[in-house]
Amino acid sequence: MNKKEAEELSVLLMQVSGKLDQSVRFVMDKDTKENFESYRSSAGKVMGVDFPKFARQ
């Protein structure tokens, strides 16, 4: 992957991260507190564990 492609991937990952944030807010507004907390935890794991794997590759 060259620098330009890496920058494009970075933009895509930021967009996905933004969508995940939106989805957490959506669940917070539309579902139970328990489901929200579970969903938020799962989304946090995706952002905190899976996204950095892409950055290292």
Distances from the Cα of 12 to the Cαs of 5, 36, 54, in angstroms? 11, 25, 11
Sequence-separated (6 or more) residues with CB below 8 Å from residue 49: none
The predicted model scores a pTM of 0.75
Per-residue pLDDT 10s for the chain (57 aa) are: 899 998 998 898 889 889 999 999 999 999 999 999 999 999 988 888 766 666 555
* Type of residue numbered 27: V
Whole-angstrom distance, CA of residue 7 vs CA of residue 56: 13
